[in-house]
Amino acid sequence: MKSYLSLGAFLITSTLLVGVAAVSAQPAPGGAAAPAAAGRAGGRGAAGPLGGPVGTINAATATLFASSCAGCHGTGLEGGRAKSLFNKEWLGTVDDARLTNAIKNGVPNTEMVSWSANLTDDQIWQMVTYIRQATATANPRPPYNDAPDGLVIKSEKQTFKVEVLTSDLYTPWGLAFLPDGRLLVTERKGAIRILDKNNVLSAPVKNTPVPHVQQDGGFLDIEVHPNYAQNGWIYLSYSEPQPGYAAQMAAVATLQGKVGSQVTASTSARTALLAATFAETRNDAAIRQSVDALAAADLTLALARADAFAAIQAGTAKLSAAQLPGFITAATATGAAGQPPSMTVWVRGKINANNEWTNQETIKRFAENLYTTSGTHFGSRFLFDTTGHLYFTIGERGQMTNAQDLSIPLGKVHRINDDGSIPSDNPFVNTPGAVPSIWTYGHRNPEGLAWEPGTGALWESEHGPTNGDEVNLLIKGHNYGWGVVSKGSQGGITLTSAPGMDDPIVYYTPTLAPAGMTFYTGDRYPAWRNTSLFVGGLAGQRLMRLEVANGKVTHQEEVFNTFGRVRDIIQGPDGLLYIAVAAPGASLPADTPGKIIRLLPQ
């Protein structure tokens, strides 16, 4: 790249998609959409930061930039012989397609030559990503504001005042209004709180399930049944340890206390003992043989073989063939027992007058062989439609191949009836081997769902890898590519698009870490009505407003960017927007103080 002057002039004078520096708009996929739920303010939302955490910049691409581009453009904001490529304002006027074309094909009648003979398509794409990532690094985000109450903000189309309703929360995750105007809030650590109309926050609801709290996991989303006044159902998603795991590990501790702590036998010998002891078809002869093998492997074994055998037989749990492999892996792990296998589970229950969780029913729990010790990508977001169907999301739990496998529920958006049964018109209900609740697939970690008013189109947001976060328009049965394609940087993925896989409507580099999202449908902010999709960002402490028309995002606005990580946003029965925010921590999963804020039109 010899001349930024040529590249910049070419790009700026061309017809451009003008918007956020990290955004590239794509054509919307076609197809029919499901109806939006009556009484719901569209849905929820999430997006992220310009100048937020940028993740890992590819070292090879940085080296390539230094050798091929820095001679003219420099490596910082000061530029070199030509102007800098890391100017945030300029980069905000250029989409990725224009950057890619200029690098690949050059710019006629300038010093900007074609690099297609020297760089692969993937290298060119990584170069574009590098420019955006490095720009974010050179333009740090503004400092966190822990006291936004009373602050007046004049956005492009609406002036509003920030009102803090409560600051007594820790990592608020999901929001849902009861018909009487009280607001349900989940805290990731494992609590449901109720904020009344006088902004008094309840004590945690009693007798709720105990979640497995690890990194992304804990209490997640909450939703109120559209017919709550008649049935009282409240839906909750959370991460749970593998059922029976605690009892199983207690048995292992007993076993290892008898033999394991004094034995230096191979992992294969321990595995044989565990398999013989905990299998559903437990074989006493095999147990005795395994104990003998352990004793023979280490002559310092203090207990007699008979005593060890008796201890092993007493009170051990039984595991199915599907459960056993993951259990053995955990039980034979080096060092501490570590994290138990876990998975998202979806339940419904009721809250009585004594602030107690009652009548719990499991709506969806997946097979125990899918439980994993990973602490990532639990999802999860709820959304009802007008016909009683419940949509929910789950990530691929850190294994991107799961997202493309229809026999595995992970990395999918699902659609069920309100009792957990399967609608007969789901897209894969008659596909042999497919999970029948799947609505769409090829997702990484979706945390936002929203119905578009008027069209009934279903929008979704999901986390990309180090970048390439997505906002998608979901179409029944469609594949959104994760595991094969990505607009972000992921080892093992070199494609950004592929036939049969829908591109995102917009994507974000650097990362936005998108969470909740909602369309605004009320009348308190008239200029936002029915056209504005609000997306909350974790990484950049930002609330984004996306203007939507005809399945496309035509404009974006950063509404605010200093109040903390925006986890969820919802429209209240009073027509105002309510937002769950949490203070930034040392990492995105850090458990930090949180608030509920409301935007008051001025």
pLDDT tens, residue by residue, 276-314:
666 666 666 776 666 566 555 543 343 334 444 444 444
Sorted by where each starts, the structural domains of the chain and their CATH numbers stand as 152-242+340-464+511-601 (2.120.10.30), 245-331 (no CATH)
Cα 351 to chain centroid, rounded: 28
Query: Is the confidence at residue 44, as pLDDT, over 60?
Result: no
pLDDT band at 527 (very low <50, low <70, confident <90, very high): very high
* % of the chain residues with pLDDT over 90: 60
Of residues 258 and 490, more confidently modeled: 490
CA atoms of 585 and 570, how far apart (whole Å): 24
If you average pLDDT over residues 176-180, what whole number do you get? 98
Q: What is the pLDDT of residue 330?
A: 53
At 46, the pLDDT band (50, 70, 90 cuts) reads: very low
Task: Count the Cβ atoms, other than its own, within 10 Å of residue 317.
Answer: 17
C-beta of residue 427 within 8 angstroms of C-beta of residue 16: no
Q: Would the pLDDT of 257 be above 90?
A: no
Q: Per-residue pLDDT for 58 more than 80?
A: no
pLDDT band at 530 (very low <50, low <70, confident <90, very high): very high
More confident of the two residues 252 and 221: 221
Residue 594, classed as helix, strand or coil, is strand
The confidence score (pLDDT) of residue 526 equals 97
pLDDT of residue 253: 58
Q: Which pLDDT score is estimated for 323?
A: 57
Q: How many CA atoms lie within 13 A of 556 on its CB side?
A: 30
pLDDT recorded at residue 421: 98
Q: Quick one: angle between helices 96-105 and 121-138, nearest 10?
A: 130
pLDDT at 93 over 80: yes
Give the pLDDT confidence of 384-418 residue by residue, as tens digits.
999 999 999 999 999 999 999 999 999 999 999 99
Predicted pLDDT of residue 251: 56
Is residue 50 predicted with pLDDT exceeding 60?
Answer: no
End-to-end Cα spacing for the chain: 49
Residue 469's nearest CA partner among 540, 419, 520, 405 is: 540
> Is residue 496 within 8 Å of residue 485, measured between CB atoms?
yes
pLDDT at 493: 93
> 286: how many CB neighbours lie within 10 A of its CB?
16
DSSP structure string for 349-373: EEE-TTSBEEEEEEEE---GGG-BS
* Ramachandran angles phi, psi of 138, nearest 5°: -80, -15
- DSSP structure class, residue 45: B
Nearest to 560 by CA among 193, 47, 42: 47
pLDDT value for 331: 53
Half-sphere exposure of 538 (CA within 13 A, CB side): 26
Confidence class for position 27, pLDDT limits 50, 70, 90: very low
Instruction: Give the pLDDT band (50/70/90) at residue 181.
Output: very high
Strands (E), 412-551: 412-417, 438-441, 445-451, 458-463, 469-474, 506-508, 514-519, 532-537, 543-549
546 closest CA partner among 456, 454, 472: 472
Phi, psi for residue 172 in degrees, rounded to 5 = -60, 140
H or E stretch covering 9? helix 4-13
pLDDT band, residue 26 (cuts 50/70/90): very low
Q: Which residues touch 583 (CB under 8 Å, ≥6 apart)? A: 144, 146, 564, 565, 592, 593, 594
Task: Give me the pLDDT at residue 279, please.
Answer: 64
Hey, which of 270-279, 307-316, 548-557 has the most confident mean pLDDT? 548-557
Q: Is it the case that residue 39 has pLDDT exceeding 50?
A: no
Mean pLDDT of 212-216: 92
Confidence of residue 108 (pLDDT cuts 50, 70, 90): confident
Q: How confident is the model at residue 73 (pLDDT cuts 50, 70, 90)?
A: confident
Nearest CA to 457 out of 369, 517, 375 is that of 517
Orientation of helix 305-313 relative to helix 245-258, angle to 10°: 170
Residue 78's contacts (CB-CB under 8 Å, 6 or more residues apart) are: 84
